[in-house]
Amino acid sequence: MSALSPAEYRRFHAFTHAKLRGGVTLLTFSMPLLFAVGWIRDYAVLGPVAHTTLLARLCLIVALLCLAALLRRYDISRMGEAVGIAYALTFGIAIAVLTALEPAKLSLTHVAVMLMAIILLPNCVRRSTAIGVAAGLCLPMFALLLYLAAPVGLWVAYLLFSAVGILIGMVQRSATLHATLDIFIHRQRLLRRLHQDSLTGVANREGWEARSARLHREHESSGRPLSVIFFDIDHFKHVNDQHGHATGDAVLQRVSTLLKQHLRGHDVVARVGGEEFVALLADTTVEDAHRVAERIRRAIETLGEPVRVTVSAGVTQAHPAESLETATQRADAALLQAKQAGRNRIVRA
């Protein structure tokens, strides 16, 4: 995972959570049933005295169900991770409380702690969450051992069983993450092929629609400026007719290279037609976008290889609460004005 960029790691993190979410939801909502079923055992062993454990079990079940609901709500956020650790801590406290009510079980519950570590840890995406979950499961029982002045033999048993459970859980977690990473990488490669123009290396129309929609949603929620530039290579049909399609392809590749050089990594650039390119500039006003478009126009005009070409462009800034399609259409209309005005120019809408 160290080979992933920060943006790729965030996508992998979200992808892994999405893969695990169904299982985690089922697990966290069903595990409190263990405490409900356990009361049947209390009644069989303790008889009428079992009512003393009933209230404790009900409180713990309600607490775990509430935390399970919060975990589903907050999901991949930092709050969700904190809730996950709180869930493990509550489960650990539940085991410790029920053991304290019946100390005779003290020699048995280390197995429960080990099994819970094996079950919960593989579902932790971040290492910090896994450490918090392991601590939440184990510390309440260690506190109980300390309070009851348990003999050394019990301490050794709890330490060994906890260590084995954590080790197995962490190994399973590592295997799960590596398997998910392989799936994620293959998926990203496939999406890249599906969303990339094979000739120029920039996004194709499908890639544009996916990436631009995501960037537009981010800026719409934050209110940051977002601008669109529509480029068209002037008289490109003449280039193909006079110099051949191989030269035309070389021109498209050279223009796309210049576009990528003048735009930032988090901007979106795509080839959406034969000689048409569109760019979405994050955190950019229409004035700044106009300056960027002008720099690109001048760079292409002075290119000269393989043949001299020029570009026209339309520039606009997305308005608040405006769809990206509307802003793109406005930039396209500005491009048409630039071509009608004589080409090799930028028109701002």
- How much is the average pLDDT of 166-173? 96
Pair 179, 246 in one domain:
no
Strands 268-271 and 226-233: unpaired
Which pTM does this prediction carry? 0.64
Range of the domain at 32: 6-191
Closest CA to 275 of 299, 255, 293: 255
Where among 191, 216, 237 does a domain terminate?
191
> CA 79, CA 132: separation in Å to the nearest integer?
13
Q: Write down the pLDDT at residue 3.
A: 67
Where among 164, 191, 218 does a domain terminate?
191
pLDDT(2) > 60: no
Pair 171, 244 in one domain:
no
- Report yes or no on 28 lying in a domain: yes
Pair 163, 41 in one domain:
yes
- 19 CB-near residues (< 8 Å, 6+ apart): 180, 183
Q: Is the dihedral of CA 281, 286, 287, 289 positive or negative?
A: positive
Q: Write down the pLDDT at residue 341.
A: 93
pLDDT over 70 percentage in the chain: 97
Contact between 101 and 52 under an 8 Å Cβ cutoff? The reply is yes
Where among 191, 214, 229 does a domain terminate?
191
- How much is the average pLDDT of 95-119? 84
> CA 261, CA 208: separation in Å to the nearest integer?
18
pLDDT(16) > 90: no
- How much is the average pLDDT of 49-60? 78
Please report how the helices 78-101 and 33-46 are oriented relative to each other, as an axis angle in degrees rounded to 10. 0
Q: Write down the pLDDT at residue 262.
A: 92
- Report yes or no on 196 lying in a domain: no
- How much is the average pLDDT of 329-345? 94
- How much is the average pLDDT of 206-219? 88
- Report yes or no on 198 lying in a domain: no
Pair 11, 73 in one domain:
yes
- Report yes or no on 124 lying in a domain: yes
> CA 45, CA 57: separation in Å to the nearest integer?
16
Pair 164, 210 in one domain:
no
Q: What's 281's domain CATH number?
A: 3.30.70.270
- Report yes or no on 1 lying in a domain: no
Q: Write down the pLDDT at residue 117.
A: 93
Contact between 138 and 114 under an 8 Å Cβ cutoff? The reply is no
Fill in the amino acid letter for 88.
Answer: A
Q: Write down the pLDDT at residue 8.
A: 77
**Mean of per-residue pLDDT scores for the chain:** 88
Residue 271 pLDDT class (50, 70, 90 cuts): very high
Pair 155, 185 in one domain:
yes
Q: Write down the pLDDT at residue 33.
A: 87
pLDDT(45) > 70: no
Range of lowest pLDDT (34-43, 167-176, 218-227): 34-43
pLDDT(191) > 80: no
Q: Write down the pLDDT at residue 55.
A: 80
- 326 CB-near residues (< 8 Å, 6+ apart): none
**Residue whose token pair is 């301490």:** 155
Q: Write down the pLDDT at residue 75.
A: 73
Fill in the amino acid letter for 319.
Answer: H
Residue 221 CA from chain centroid, whole number: 17
Pair 173, 268 in one domain:
no
**Assigned token pair, 302:** 């002075």
Q: Write down the pLDDT at residue 174.
A: 94
- 264 CB-near residues (< 8 Å, 6+ apart): 281, 282
Question: Which entry of 275, 287, 301, 325 is annotated as an active-site residue?
Answer: 275
- How much is the average pLDDT of 287-308? 90
The CA-atom distances, in angstroms, between 74 and each of 17, 67, 217 are: 11, 10, 20
Range of lowest pLDDT (39-48, 295-304, 316-325): 39-48
| Domain count along the chain | 2
Pair 42, 176 in one domain:
yes
- How much is the average pLDDT of 292-316? 90
Pair 187, 213 in one domain:
no
Contacts 24+ apart (CB under 8 A), 234-242: 234/309, 234/310, 234/311, 234/312, 234/339, 234/343, 234/344, 235/309, 235/343, 236/274, 236/275, 236/309, 239/307, 239/309
- Report yes or no on 274 lying in a domain: yes
Residue 51 backbone phi and psi in degrees, to 5:
-65, -20
Pair 105, 219 in one domain:
no
- Annotated catalytic residue 275: yes
Q: Write down the pLDDT at residue 138.
A: 94
Residue 37 pLDDT class (50, 70, 90 cuts): confident
- Report yes or no on 50 lying in a domain: yes
pLDDT(130) > 70: yes
Q: Write down the pLDDT at residue 49.
A: 64
Pair 228, 154 in one domain:
no
Pair 136, 263 in one domain:
no
CB contact burial 319-339 (16+ within 10 A = b; e otherwise):
eeeeebeebbebbbebbeebb
